[in-house]
Structure 1
Amino acid sequence: MRAKYKPSDYEAFRKRCVEMKEAGWRQKDISAALGLTEGWVSQTLKKYRDSGAQGLLARKATGAPPRMTSDQLEKLVEELKRGAQHHGFSGEIWTRQRVNALIERLFGVSYDPTQVGRILKSWDGSLQKPAKKARQQSTQKVNQWREEVLPGLKKS
């Protein structure tokens, strides 16, 4: 099993890789000596040829570009404030699935429902879950049950 390295380790490997190549080593021998794949060595040398020493520096991975612009996010916030019923949903609760459907309808972009919460959080939307309480529940009867029935059910 291959060990996991930190980005700074890879930077050192890249620099060593270039030094070895400039000393006359073949790519195959470099990969064997450093315990890296030939493809990795090849990519490193290509980065060095294209960008020089700057191409060898470790940098944070950028990730995928956002699918929605900041203007679209602002428009989404405005539309969310208009309410769920305004957009054809029953009730005024926004769920991730509903927000995703609205995003798809407005901008033609679809997200995984798990990512919709991250988008909402980016504009300081508060994540709220409706309380799970039966509509027909009577507070008076619940308190009465707790006082009269519950003590008899508990182990002594």
Structure 2
Amino acid sequence: MQAAELFEQKIKLREVARRLRVSRKSAYQWHQLWRDGGATALASRGPSGSRCRLSPRCLEKLAAYLEQGPASHGWVEDQVWTAARVATLIGRKFHVSYSVSGATRLMHRLGFSPQVPARRVAERDEQAVTAWKEATWEEVKEPGRPVEGTSASRTRRASLAGRPKDAPGADAVAPRS
């Protein structure tokens, strides 16, 4: 309750905001709450947002399901828990709908992190891909920029011929030959 202590000491709200590293608006809102209800009005009301829709028992079951791995729940193509898969699993097992971002937060709460599967075709022939890169790619790729040094600018230097003799700095620049 640092804010309440600072308010009691009659420290300016601008200084309270600076010391507590909050916006002035927050300091003014807190001061209003403190004036109306004292230090108890500044007590935390807990985390914001919606409450968890799964009971503690269901959370324990979900953690156990996640420990079993995706293959034991029907995802056999890879051993990756994505947030979308977890949301689907929650719907199947607990009949509760979770968004992908909600499933991500729930996974973090349980100590898991969603993973992104590698997007590779199962039938991919690595030898054929390597052979194509070595034989065909060099023929079909477009040429890049020339190797010699080039200018980063596409503009040309201004011509001194069209410049008035009395222009600022005209006498400082020697004409090119």
In the TM superposition, what whole-angstrom CA distance separates every residue of 1:103-145 from its partner, at most 9, and x where no partner exists?
Answer: 2343342211221122112223242222212222221121122
Distance 2:85 2:115 in 1: 14
Alignment of 1:1-156 (within 5 A): 6-14=25-33, 48=36, 52-57=37-42, 59=44, 62-63=47-48, 64-84=50-70, 86-87=72-73, 89=74, 91=76, 94-152=81-139, 153-156=141-144
Question: Structure 1 residues 9, 58: closer, same or farther in 2, change over 3 A?
Answer: farther
Distance 2:136 2:77 in 1: 37
Unaligned runs of 5+ in 1: 19-47
Distance 2:92 2:136 in 1: 52
Report the alpha carbon displacement of residue 62 of structure 1 after superposing the two structures with TM.
Answer: 2.8
In the TM superposition, what whole-angstrom CA distance separates every residue of 1:40-99 from its partner, at most 9, and x where no partner exists?
Answer: xxxxxxxx3xxx313543747631322223332221121233344544x35355443442
Which residue number in structure 1 is paired with residue 150 of structure 2?
A: none
Aligned residues: 118
AA aligned opposite 1:154: E
TM-score (norm: length of structure 1): 0.57
Partner SS for 1:129: coil
Deviates more, 1:54-63 or 1:129-138: 54-63
Greater length-normalized contact order (CA 8 Å, ≥ 6 residues apart): 1
Question: Structure 1 residues 118, 76: closer, same or farther in 2, change over 3 A?
Answer: same
CA contact (8 A) 1:96 1:114 kept: yes
Q: CA RMSD in A?
A: 3.0
More helix by share: 1
Question: Structure 1 residues 75, 131: closer, same or farther in 2, change over 3 A?
Answer: same
Structure having the higher Rg: 2
TM-score (norm: length of structure 2): 0.51
AA aligned opposite 2:31: A
Unaligned runs of 5+ in 2: 1-22, 145-177
Partner SS for 1:67: coil
Which residue number in structure 2 is paired with residue 30 of structure 1?
A: none
Partner SS for 1:135: coil
